Structure 1
Amino acid sequence: MPSSPEWASLSARHKSPSSPLEYAGLNLHPEEKESGSTVLLSPSPIDDTAFLLPDPIPDRTSGSTDKSANKDDKREVDENDGSGVERVPLWRLYLFRIQKYSSYSFATFLSMHLATVNAMPALLGIDAADNGIVLARVLYQLPLVEGLVVGSLAAHLISGVVLRIHKIRRDKSWYARRLKMSRVSFTGYLLAPLVAAHVFVARVLPLITEGDSSIISLRYISRGFARSPLTSWSIYVAMLGLSIYHVGYGFSRWLRIRKHSVQIAGVIYFALGIWGLRVVSQGNNMPEWLARKYDIIYGMF
């Protein structure tokens, strides 16, 4: 916990919980809980907005010194345009923006990918969806486009992890405990290994065995369902549900979309995606030579 003079000075500025703090367009309503002679401030229930909460800085009039605060003074951004107020470190503001805007470019690819592998099989059948995948592959497997997709995903993950580590350390310093993680963040961490496994099976392994992904289509996924139905259903249903939740509620936060609209759209698309997976799981009719090639690729996993 911060020393008494600094913490008392910080607490005095936040004494009225009816006045929200506004940082980078986010409204944060602190709650005050008396604990002996100190005041513990709780961040917004949506904890990710607390990434932009300022760190406490010493009261310059109290004569206390904090080397780390003084060292970073020139790198901090004054959010309240006043003197002696809390400041948000510039690096944290930039990381927050990287995490936010990198999600836009990756979401563009994800929308196209989900449309071809989930929606099109449900609406048009697996053959039409395979044709759609071939056309989409011409675009998103271009070196520049693929590099942008991979880079934006990596930037989103890395910036989120760095902000999470910083927040855990700050929670322990401010509150002597770790605060809860939001559901949007939690689903993101659950989704990361599933996406990595899917990329490895659908993109990396074909590159290793065949040199490219030209033979990869929905029939490849169908072969996976035929080989391991329980594993395939578990992974793809989990990946579909987590993706819809994470992306839907994440963008409802970024773009201030009503959650009721996100819930309706999410339920509709999840049902459509499940039906698409059912169609794909039944599409195991393929030439024998192609099935053998797919078996060789899956055998390396």
Structure 2
Amino acid sequence: MDPHGLDPRDHQLSHKASQETFISLVQLDPEPIQDLYQDEGPDFDPTRDASPSEDAAEGGSLANSIHSLKSSGSGGAAGGIGLNTMTPLGLSGSGHGAIYYLTRIQRYSSYTFSLFASLHLATTSVIPLLARSVPASESYLLLAREIYQTPLSEPLLVALPIVAHVGAGLLARLLRRRENLRRYYGAGDEKTHMGLGITKPTARFLRSGWPRLSWIALSGYGFTAVVAAHAFMNRGLPLVVEGDSANIGLAYVAHGFVRHAWTSWAAYAALLGIGCGHMVWGWAKWFGVSQGAGWVLERHTGVPEVDRKARRKRRRRLIWINAVAAAATAVWAAGGLGVVARGGETLGWVGKVYDGLYDKVPLF
């Protein structure tokens, strides 16, 4: 008998209980952990210290918690449960995985495209709104084309950023799915969960391993479609039919609103609404504002006063972001739909050229 009154058999019972607890936890249906870090934005660093107020509320620095997880998980053969950003793609020289670099590509490509979008917004909306005339605004559009429609600047400012932005997002989703399948379902590593009796989750998105599709990503796919259609109608189609797009300007758009009103209004309303919403929410994500925006509080502390303050803060952010998106849409629509769309029909041989271009598209 132990002089302290402890029976040595208690250690065996405790050890057995801990194993049973581990097995019971493994049998739970997990939710992909990647979404938690995805919601924090591309600049989220789990090893970064929280703010003093957050430290006081959470009882310590997040960096210390992550450091302890890494320390506890580094001893196993498979890395344990530590947070490891090393990937098989070889992008681990600085301790970051492939998703980290893909997110950076998405971010910096949006900077470049935003420069083009600002110039395009000014020449197709702001200047027509101030000039109140389509012919008076054409010269400014031609001047802006000398900046973003040259053989060098057009691929760098328009085509390449779009391809990089969309491609990086799609590839990141594929990598997250592969990581979820490997982490939770043992895909590619049958020894990881051998003999543990893991049951697969019942939810379809959990079984497939795909991360949740956010509203920013969903609007981005829609924005890609309408931008591609817009570029085809105003740039690609004239190049194919006429050999160049020198005659394409605001008058071409105004002519389309007269001859094909319903299609033009629907197309440009989708372009403005989805585009402004996606870009404003995207910039809010880069600044770390969208992560705390919402109408419903996701995590409750159990303290009514704290929950009310957190809920009001989330709702204020949601309202402000949507207000900025609505204001950007209104400004673009005021000049684009309020002035250019009412510019009238183009007559003469130029009008016939416009009719020939629109006739090539089945929907017009």
Normalising by the smaller structure, the TM-score range is 0.7 to 0.9
Question: How far is the alpha carbon of 1:75 from its aligned partner?
Answer: 4.3
Taking a change above 3 Å as real, the CA distance of residues 78 and 212 of structure 1, as seen in their structure-2 partners, is: closer
Distance 2:214 2:360 in 1: 37
Q: Which entry has the higher C-alpha Rg, 1 or 2?
A: 2
Q: Does 1:143 align with 2:135?
A: no
2:131 counterpart residue number: 124
Higher relative contact order structure (alpha carbons within 8 Å, sequence separation ≥ 6): 2
Taking a change above 3 Å as real, the CA distance of residues 256 and 191 of structure 1, as seen in their structure-2 partners, is: same
Structure 2 counterpart of 1:163, one-letter code = A
Distance 1:71 1:261 in 2: 38
Q: Structure 2 length as normaliser, TM-score?
A: 0.61
2:212 counterpart residue number: 180
Of 273, 279, 282 in structure 2, the residue corresponding to residue 247 of structure 1 is 279
Distance 1:194 1:41 in 2: 31
2:255 counterpart residue number: 223
Structure with the largest fraction of strand = 1
Of 355, 359, 363 in structure 2, the residue corresponding to residue 295 of structure 1 is 355
Assess if the C-alpha contact under 8 Å between 2:106 and 2:169 holds in 1: yes
Distance 1:141 1:70 in 2: 40
Distance 2:260 2:149 in 1: 28
Distance 2:224 2:92 in 1: 32
2:189 counterpart residue number: none
Q: Deviations along 1:67-114, whole A, 9 cap, x unmatched?
A: xx99839643575xxxxxxxx42x322222111101111110011112
Q: Does 1:113 align with 2:173?
A: no
Taking a change above 3 Å as real, the CA distance of residues 228 and 152 of structure 1, as seen in their structure-2 partners, is: same
Taking a change above 3 Å as real, the CA distance of residues 51 and 299 of structure 1, as seen in their structure-2 partners, is: farther
Distance 2:274 2:287 in 1: 19
Of 167, 171, 185 in structure 2, the residue corresponding to residue 162 of structure 1 is 171
Pairing of 1:5-154 with structure 2 (within 5 A)? 36=27, 42=33, 43-44=35-36, 47=39, 49=41, 61-63=75-77, 72=88, 75-76=91-92, 88-89=96-97, 91-125=98-132, 126-149=134-157, 150-154=159-163
1:272 counterpart residue number: 331
Question: Which stretch has the larger CA shift, 290-299 or 255-264?
Answer: 255-264
1:286 counterpart residue number: 346
Assess if the C-alpha contact under 8 Å between 1:194 and 1:235 holds in 2: yes
Distance 2:129 2:40 in 1: 35
Identity rate of aligned residues, in percent?
30
Question: How far is the alpha carbon of 1:261 from its aligned partner?
Answer: 5.1
Taking a change above 3 Å as real, the CA distance of residues 233 and 48 of structure 1, as seen in their structure-2 partners, is: farther
Assess if the C-alpha contact under 8 Å between 1:119 and 1:272 holds in 2: yes
Question: Which stretch has the larger CA shift, 259-268 or 283-292?
Answer: 259-268
Unmatched tracts of structure 2, length 5 or more: 1-17, 47-68, 185-200, 291-316
Question: How far is the alpha carbon of 1:41 from its aligned partner?
Answer: 6.2
1:199 counterpart residue number: 231
Question: Which stretch has the larger CA shift, 266-275 or 218-227?
Answer: 266-275
Taking a change above 3 Å as real, the CA distance of residues 168 and 122 of structure 1, as seen in their structure-2 partners, is: farther
Distance 1:198 1:101 in 2: 23
Question: Which stretch has the larger CA shift, 234-243 or 162-171?
Answer: 162-171
Question: How far is the alpha carbon of 1:231 from its aligned partner?
Answer: 1.3
Assess if the C-alpha contact under 8 Å between 1:48 and 1:182 holds in 2: no
Q: Deviations along 1:191-239, whole A, 9 cap, x unmatched?
A: 1111111111100111122221110111111121122211111111111
Distance 1:267 1:40 in 2: 34
Question: How far is the alpha carbon of 1:155 from its aligned partner?
Answer: 0.9
Q: Deviations along 1:151-184, whole A, 9 cap, x unmatched?
A: 1111111111101222233344556514421111
Q: Deviations along 1:122-155, whole A, 9 cap, x unmatched?
A: 2322223222111111211111111102111111
Assess if the C-alpha contact under 8 Å between 1:98 and 1:155 holds in 2: yes
1:25 counterpart residue number: none
Distance 1:155 1:251 in 2: 17
